[in-house]
Structure 1
Amino acid sequence: MLKTHDISLRFGKRLLFEDVTTKFSPGNCYGVIGANGAGKSTLLKVLSGEIEPSSGNISVSPGKRIAVLKQNQYEFDEFEVRETVLMGHKKLFKIMTEKDAIYAKSDFSNEDGMRVSDLEDEFAELNGWEAESEVSTLLSGLGIADELHEKKMDELSGNEKVKVLLAQALFGNPDILLLDEPTNHLDIQSINWLEEFLTKFKNTIIVVSHDRHFLNNVCTHMADIDYGKVTVYTGNYDFWLESSQLALQQAKDANKKTEAKRKDLEAFVARFSANASKSKQATSRKKTLDKLVLEEIKPSSRKLPFIRFTPERPIGNNVLTIKNLSKKVDGEVVLNDITLTINNDDKIAFVGAHDLAKTALFEILMDEVKADSGNYTWGATAIRSYLPKDNAEFFNDDVTLIDWLRQFSKEKDDNFIRGFLGRMLFSGEESLKKANILSGGEKVRIMQSKMMLSGANVLLLDEPTNHLDLEAITSLNNGLIEFKGVIMFASHDHQFLQTIANRIIEITPYGVIDKKMTFDEYLENPVINKLREKMYENIKNPGETLPI
């Protein structure tokens, strides 16, 4: 068990937590939620011992091992993949290293024999004989191919490194597992595997995530950080959200009744206090009035941006035609002879293991890069707007947000621009921030503002939930559900995919799978699953004709 006792944490004058006392019990998965900057990741660092609290203390049951998902992708570059995972269990890895060193000696002494005997006992107690098998299972489950297990970490891509570091944290059945955004950079299949792994995990899990579907599937409790406090609630994210909204509404309703009663009493007192025959009654009412206290409602510090995309004009029947589109990036084929027709009622989720393919397609369709072959034609009524995954090029200028957004607005008046920024949580002094110092989440929100001002009837979005907090993701999700136009988007957010898309297109190395259905229907369709499996297997066994 992991407990906090009156912990507080300050950075200069800024207070993150104050007098936090709570416990995290075995068999439970705690989802840590809170607004951007509330201190979710910092709380995990405090719990792991990486950061010392300003006051209070953390206690862990004796002999319990804490495992943490590492965030530095380059920390283990000099080590092999398999070795990196084994290093997740420090005690076991130390025993293995010492044991191997002794066996490698040319002059094996009696003392060495006694020492290695002790090490073998400890090795067996820690289930060391199953370690290699467990490493392979974890890596394969997360999509790391067998041929990569003996490679050095610096030979892997960034996404592959993230998966290895996740396997490292999961390895060896830790007693307490601390995971900060474990689904980042994972494909849908890897996320599903991780969800299944964590639901079967018997020990304590504390996880920070912006993935609502993931939190709903794995969490038994929510740890909400707000106003410097950490409050633990039973239930998953949706249960917490609905319960908190219900409690707030009940408090508001109670206050309305109290306020109505107060007004009645005030009116009675004002009317009859000067009347001798009614004075006793009025005095009694005055005493009742004095006892009435409005229940204090402390609203959450969270704020939701107002996101609505309004097309300037309806989209016509001819939206987009793509014929035989192909593209190589750094010598690798990412789009191979793609042919598609986009209709005016389409909300398309582009899925698949290769993120670069989706990004390349969007960049071609937005005329930002050229295809190697093939062509595409937009309909005459199509007005496009694009949210790229990498938006850095838009934020090089030293200008205020008002001036930054003004260049994309037909209405140039300051009050209009300020009002629009306020809807997106850049109110007051925030609207005078310089564009080149924005955080990742702020950049995405201001890019969404640009899209809303465009009047587009076709939206292209590449990983639009990246860098956003849960509140901003929820607002964007709702805004896209209500959008009366065509949407083409790539995302790893399951709830986003399920609630928005009515057509799923998976880009594979040997063509596309294109189905008019919801995302859950797509995942659960056995024919599609078999076809997908054969397509990806064909990478290793090229030449087979597949029924795409």
Structure 2
Amino acid sequence: MLAQALFGNPDILLLDEPTNHLDLNTISWLEEFLINFQNLVIVVSHDRKFLDNVCTHMADIDYKNIQLYTGNYTFWSQASQLIKKQKEEQNKKTEEKMEELKAFIARFSANASKAKQATSRKNMLDKLSLEEIKPSSRQYPRIRFTYNKIPGKDVLHVKNLYKSVDGELLIKNLSFEINQGEKVAFIARDPFIISNLFDILEDRVKPDSGEVTWGVTATHSYFPKDNNFYFENNLTIMQWLAQYSPDQHVNFLRGYLGRMLFSGDDADKKVNVLSGGEKVRCLFAKMMIAEANVMIFDEPTNHLDLEAITALNNAMIDFPGTILFTSQDYQLIQTVADRIIEISPKGYINMRNKYDEYLKNPVVIKKRQEIYGA
């Protein structure tokens, strides 16, 4: 469908979440195509880097209004916050001035010698008004991951791992070690490779050969990409979350649900009718309650809006434990990961780098040519 839309050379190109289900290389290609596209592009996306690279204008739909900004996503984010802050500061100054005038009027209105000044102050007060600052429709979940068991240095050891599916080799002789506090992004041109690796680490799938050894103090919590099986029941959200914390009071559970934007009667909704984004937020609540010292995320930004992605991004940065994750969100990888492991059926690359440095590293560029055969 994307190819059909792009290559018709339309006057107006309307794209609704075009980066969904695309790998990072294809997203990069799409960015370049749209940058060079001569006609009008209207796009909806939750990929922050994509919006930064492609967009020249941002249409901000909030406060039941549409405000057009000239600039990309980062400019809009900064400018909109600055405008809101300026309005708040101006209102504060106006309130202080109004209180000052009211105090003068109350003190001197009955004083004949000051009556004229009091009347003047009253006229000034009548002209002052506070600018309405409408509440935003945007809501940020309050995501914070912590752990309750102090981890040791050795978190995970993987040795000589092989895995094939339906006769097709996915993982070949993969070995690596993970230490406490590392935040490792796993990437592959075929996301199925990483999903299989994470399922192996969680003992949901068996490798063909090789060893997976978790540290004795490691406790891990897993966010699988295919997570619908968690919600194939008739439980309410409250009942569903209570499964993972059976000894806790209902108010404890409501606190976590509230942080994930489920308030009041939302707790009584059936989990089998939740949207994709609501299911993801339920899983985040489950992971927060678990308080594991190792977090594994397989494409956690799928189905999330920009506010939830931002909240998750910050929570992953702040988490003091270990994170293993994969994502097609460039900014998430860039800001969270301090190490990259890239896997193909022909081999792998294991490099301690920020993602942008990794992509420019000549050793990595050469190795990528080897493992992808191009």
Q: Does the alignment reach a TM-score above 0.5?
A: yes
Evaluate the alpha carbon distance shift between residue 270 and residue 397 of structure 1 in structure 2; reply closer, same or farther with a 3 A threshold. Answer: farther
SS for the counterpart of 2:154 is coil
Name the CA distance, whole Å, in 2 between partners of 1:352 and 1:516: 16
Q: Is 1:195 matched with 2:38?
A: no
Equivalent position SS for 1:390: coil
Aligned twin of 1:462: 298
Output the CA distance in 2 between the equivalents of 1:289 and 1:266: 8
Report deviation, 1:315: 2.0
Distance 1:431 1:282, change over 3 A: farther
Is it true that 1:237 corresponds to 2:81 in the alignment?
A: no
Q: Distance in 2 between matches of 1:475 and 1:286?
A: 47
Is the CA contact (8 Å cut-off) linking 2:63 and 2:134 kept in structure 1?
no
- Give the 3 Å change call, closer, same or farther, for CA 427–458 of structure 1 in structure 2: same
2-structure distance, mates of 1:245, 1:228: 17
Measured against aligned partners, the alpha-carbon deviations of 1:216-243 in whole angstroms (never above 9, x if no partner) come to 0011011222344333211000100100
Q: Is the 8 A contact 2:52 2:74 kept in 1?
A: yes
Task: Report what 1:502 is aligned to.
Answer: 338
Say whether the 8 Å CA contact 2:147–2:321 is kept in structure 1. Answer: yes
Deviation at 1:403, TM superposition (A): 2.4
**Partner in structure 2 of residue 435 of structure 1:** 271
Greater length-normalized contact order (CA 8 Å, ≥ 6 residues apart)? 2
Deviation at 1:278, TM superposition (A): 4.0
1:277 deviates by 4.4
1:403 equivalent in structure 2: 239
The number of residue pairs the alignment matches comes to 374
Distance in 1 between residues matched to 2:157 and 2:176, nearest whole Å:
6
1:248 Cα deviation after fit = 0.3
Per-residue deviation, residues 467-496 of structure 1 (Å, max 9, x unmatched): 001111011001111111111001011111
Q: 3-state DSSP class of the match of 1:325?
A: strand
- Residues 410-419 or 182-191, more deviating: 410-419
**Inter-partner Cα distance in structure 2 for 1:446 and 1:274:** 63
Separation in 2 of the partners of 1:268 and 1:398? 65
Q: Indicate which of 208, 213, 223 corresponds to 2:59.
A: 223
Name the structure 2 match of 1:357. 193
> Secondary structure at the residue paired with 1:497?
helix
Number of the residue aligned with 1:535: 371
- Structure-2 residue corresponding to 1:417: 253
Counterpart of 2:82?
246
Q: How does 1:52-63 map to 2 (within 5 A)?
A: none
Q: 1:274 deviation in Å? A: 4.2
For the 8 Å contact 1:314–1:485, the answer to whether it is kept is: no
198 and 255 in structure 1: CA distance in 2 versus 1, 3 angstrom threshold? same
Could you tell me how far apart the structure 1 residues matched to 2:27 and 2:57 are? 20
- 2:95 matches 1:262: no
- Partner residue of 1:453? 289
1:296 maps onto 2:145 in alignment: no
User: Secondary structure of the equivalent of 2:363?
Assistant: helix
Q: Distance in 2 between matches of 1:286 and 1:415?
A: 51
**Of 322-331 and 484-493, the range deviating more from structure 2:** 322-331
Q: Which residue of 1 aligns with 2:145?
A: 309
Q: Indicate the residue corresponding to 2:319 in structure 1.
A: 483
Normalising by the residue count of structure 1, what TM-score does the alignment of the two structures yield? 0.66
| CA-CA distance at 1:405 after TM superposition | 1.7
Q: Deviations over 1:430-453 (max 9, x none)?
A: 233222211000111111111111
Alignment counterpart, residue 174 of structure 1, candidates 3, 6, 10 = 10
Q: Could you tell me which residue of structure 2 aligns to residue 210 of structure 1?
A: 46
Answer yes or no: is 1:346 the counterpart of 2:175. no
Amino acid at match of 1:170: L
* Distance in structure 2 (CA, Å) of the matches to 1:421 and 1:258: 38
Matches within 5 A, 1:326-345: 326-345=162-181
Residue 530 (structure 1) shift? 2.4
Are residues 1:521 and 2:357 paired? yes
Could you tell me which runs of 5 or more consecutive residues in structure 2 were left unpaired when the two chains were aligned.
Answer: none
**12, 20, 29: which one pairs with 1:184?**
20
RMSD: 1.8
Runs of 5+ unmatched residues, structure 1: 1-164, 539-548
Shift of 1:397: 2.6
Counterpart-to-counterpart distance in 2, 1:263 and 1:368: 66
In 2, Cα distance between equivalents of 1:384 and 1:166: 38
TM-score by length of 2: 0.95
Tell whether the 8 Å contact from 1:272 to 1:278 is kept in structure 2 after alignment: yes
Residues 195-231 of structure 1: CA deviation (Å, up to 9, x unaligned)? 1111111111111111000110011011222344333
Q: Distance in 2 between matches of 1:377 and 1:536?
A: 28
Structure 1 residues 410 and 247: alpha-carbon distance in aligned structure 2, compared to 1, 3 A threshold: farther
Q: Deviations over 1:122-148 (max 9, x none)?
A: xxxxxxxxxxxxxxxxxxxxxxxxxxx
1:427: how far off? 1.7
**Structure-2 change in CA distance of 1:262 and 1:185 (3 Å):** same
1:429 and 1:246 mapped to 2: Cα distance? 35
Separation in 1, partners of 2:270, 2:108: 60
Q: Deviations over 1:35-88 (max 9, x none)?
A: xxxxxxxxxxxxxxxxxxxxxxxxxxxxxxxxxxxxxxxxxxxxxxxxxxxxxx
1:384 partner amino acid? H
Of residues 219-228 and 312-321 in structure 1, the stretch that sits farther from structure 2 once superposed is 219-228
Question: Partners of 1:276 and 1:388 in 2: how far apart?
Answer: 78
Contact 1:421 1:427 in 2 (8 A): yes
Cα pair distance change 1:270/1:403, threshold 3 Å: farther
Q: What is the CA-CA distance between 1:259 and the residue it aligns to?
A: 1.3
